[in-house]
Structure 1
Amino acid sequence: MDRRNFVKSSSLFILSLAGTKLLASCSPSSTTSETSGNSETAQAEPVANTSAQTKPFSEITELNFGIISTESQANQKPIWEPFIQAMSEELGMPVKAFYATSYNGVIEGMRFGQVHLAWLGGKSYIEAVNIANAEAFAQTVALDGSKGYYAYLITNKDNPIVSEIQNEQGDKYVIENAPNLTFAFNDPNSTSGFLVPSYYVFAKNNINPKKAFNKLVFSGSHEATALAVANNQVDVATNNNESLSRLEKTNPEAREKIEVIWTSPEIPSDPIAYRRDLPEDLKAKIQDFFYNYKDETVLGPLEWSAFIPADDKNWNPIRELEIGKQIMEVQEDENMDAAEKQKKLDELNQQLTALQG
């Protein structure tokens, strides 16, 4: 597998747009979520109902830290709470974890001021910038020191298709045999679980996954897609190396049943972002905590070794893929007249050119 630099290869996306059909994002699941303190858990109201209760940021006395739903809350809480506790102690104010049932739950929480800062994926961060006033200030560093990760296609080791795939060329097999396969993405706001495989596996090959497969589902989290494969509920699903590494610890029997059949180019590692309108002195304290926090016993279970300074431009390659998806959707819109369509395409191509410049 050619693991070319994601930044370079994503810039080629525009070359594959003509005639390509890509599955549009579907509505995520419920955004009902939970916020948990260091020693207790409280049920939160649905995010959409909280905006009127949001405190002015000048009156912030505690912080809510959003955590995207890469796996079940039962698995996430034990590894996140020590970090949340450390942040609370360092900042000198209560910090509570905000767990949602979908990526969109965290985005909406930030949008309405219920989430002040969050761990996000690249795609969910771009959405949070657009609608939730998010600003990245840090980037995760893996245990091996890398600043990126890989999207996967996975299948069950006992699935007959394993014997027909060589050298992790499962993308080719999936394309050629899609009508006979069941397939699972995880969340439409996921980078590795949706956006990256949507481009590298489907868009580049002029395949519309919504129409290609015998059955297509969105399973929710990376953990859910992994278990769907392990339990033979779907033939092929998306995932990534970090989530499968976690699965080795949380469910080793399930991990043993999973075979990786395709690996993407490297994806920029995850952003940590806060709302832009947080007080500047609080932003500085938050930055200081993240940039200097090195406790291996706490970061290790999260599969990280450190956080490094980062800014919004780090995730421009994700934006390029997102703009490309929008271009395809406009091209396929039969209800838009020619003049309006051309105007919109010109605007999107200008945005793409600006990013690549």
Structure 2
Amino acid sequence: MKLLRSMLSWCAAGAVAFAALGTSAAHAEDINFGIISTDTSAVLKQRWQPFIDDMNRQTGLSVKAFFATDYAGIIEAMRFNKVQIGYFGNASAMEAVDRSNGEVFAKVLYANGDAGYKSVLITNVNSPVKTLDDVFKHPKDLTLGWGDPNSTSGTLIPGYYLFAQHGMSVNASTFKTVLPSSHEANLLAVVNNKVDIATNNTIELATLKQKHPDKFAQVRVLWTSPLIPSDPLVWRKDLPAATKQKLLDFFTHYAKTDPKEKAVMANITGYAGFAASSDAQLLPIRQVALFQQKEKIAADTHLSDDDRKSQIAAIDAKIGALGAPAKP
């Protein structure tokens, strides 16, 4: 009888403990952190995991990294609530805000003090392409390493500020070949003479210069864009207010004084931390995207004059609603 009572007591205690664990698990906040595919998943994990580990410790949240093979994978994952927060470029953040119930809440800070970064067009230092004039004289002879369709510095900014300003659309009929890929892959393709020219950005070039100066010496910059606002962090609008506050506190205080945290940020891509932000930082990106739409419509020979005028008028109205237009 004593044994039975002892066993019953043990079972009761175990049930209470299990119930408590179940309650804790039920209230644990699981957050998936989406990270756009600027590089391979293995490299991104190596860069970001120490930061995510610190986030878990400091917020008490259960945060896991989520990688996809392209930018659209992160945008769609946020749309279906498989990702709750994400690191984006400005163009992909715009898509996440418009399509995935997203909201910009922070932006990265750069160790060199810059307020943003720039898109570049690059070639190999030994390439016969020496200037932009060489690019536009014979584009049909060139293979272009292009960015992800949702990349700010890889497609949107060079598409407008570089190619559209020269009356050129980027497609298979303009160049010998157009090869969309990640920033890292395009950079290595230029270094190894696998493409004639490629888009990229000043962040990737700075990282290459720091880690592989011999490879950096193989790169020639043909064109540099106006400043692009620093990369934003986006969360889903429907996250609980308390969770948002934990995340905002963590991001805006991280790496401000702690040397270990500063080292973690520097290893990601030369970042120094984060600052609070909002959807307002996407304004110039929205303007450029609308200008590109307008140019495509103006050049579309399949549209009637009336359709073309009405569609352009609709875009002009959207541009006007955003404020003063961006200038190249």
Establish whether TM, by shorter chain, passes 0.5: yes
Shift of the alpha carbon at 1:251? 5.0
2:159 maps to a residue whose letter is S
Q: Equivalent of 1:329, from 289, 296, 304?
A: 296
Is the Cα–Cα contact under 8 Å of residues 107 and 128 in structure 1 kept in the other structure? Answer: yes
Matches within 5 A, 1:225-264: 225-248=186-209, 252-264=213-225
* Aligned twin of 2:51: 83
Choose the corresponding residue for 2:177, options 215, 236, 242.
Answer: 215
Name the amino acid aligned to 2:237: R
Q: Quick one: distance in 2 between partners of 1:259 and 1:59?
A: 53
3-state secondary structure, aligned to 1:160? coil
Alignment of 1:1-357 (within 5 A): 61-161=29-129, 165=130, 170-210=131-171, 211-218=173-180, 220-248=181-209, 252-294=213-255, 295-302=261-268, 303-357=270-324
Secondary structure class of the residue paired with 2:67: strand
Looking at structure 2, the residues matched to 285 and 176 of structure 1 have their Cα atoms a distance apart, in angstroms, of: 54
Unaligned runs of 5+ in 1: 1-57
SS in 2 for 1:209: coil
| 8 A Cα contact 2:28 2:61, kept in partner | no
Q: Which fold has the larger relative contact order, with Cα–Cα distance below 8 Å and residues 6 or more apart in sequence?
A: 1
Shift of 1:181: 1.6
Structure 1 residues 263 and 127, CA, compared in 2 at 3 Å: closer, same or farther? same
What letter corresponds to residue 140 of structure 1 in structure 2?
V
Alpha-carbon distance, 1:231 to partner? 1.6
Residue 193 of structure 1: how far off its partner (Å): 0.6
Distance 1:192 1:171 in 2: 18
Any conservation in 2 of the 1:70–1:243 contact (CA below 8 Å)? no
Structure 1 equivalent of residue 19 of structure 2: none
2:145–2:198 contact (8 Å) kept in structure 1 = yes
Q: Decide whether the 8 Å contact of 1:137 with 1:310 is kept in 2.
A: yes
Residue 328 of structure 1, CA deviation: 2.2
Structure 1 residue 297, shift from structure 2 partner: 1.3
User: Does the 8 A contact of 1:149 with 1:242 survive in 2?
Assistant: yes
- Match of 1:40? none
* 251 and 71 in structure 1: CA distance in 2 versus 1, 3 angstrom threshold: farther
RMSD: 1.9
Q: What is the CA–CA distance in structure 2 between the aligned matches of 1:134 and 1:250, rounded to whole Å?
A: 34
Partner SS state of residue 234, structure 1:
coil
> Counterparts of 1:253 and 1:239 in 2: how far apart (Å)?
18
Answer yes or no: is the 8 Å Cα contact 1:223–1:247 preserved in 2.
no
* CA offsets 1:52-81 (integer angstroms, 9 cap, x no match): xxxxxx977210001011111121111100
Q: Gaps (5+ residues) in structure 2?
A: 1-25, 256-260
Provide the secondary structure at the position in 2 that maps to 1:323: helix
Q: How many residues align?
A: 292
Cα shift at 1:198: 0.9
- Distance apart, 1:124 and its partner CA: 0.5
Scaled by the length of structure 2, what TM-score is found? Answer: 0.84
Partners of 2:76 and 2:28 lie apart in 1 by 19
Question: More deviation in 107-116 or 295-304?
Answer: 295-304
Q: Distance in 1 between matches of 2:27 and 2:72?
A: 26
Q: Does structure 2 retain, via aligned residues, the 8 Å contact 1:152–1:263?
A: yes
The TM-score normalised by the length of structure 1 is 0.77
1:302-343 deviations in Å (ceiling 9; x for gaps): 211121111111111000111112112333444444444333
Whole-Å separation in 2 of the counterparts to 1:249 and 1:75 = 16
Cα contact 1:193–1:239 (8 A) shared by 2: yes
Structure 2 equivalent of residue 54 of structure 1: none
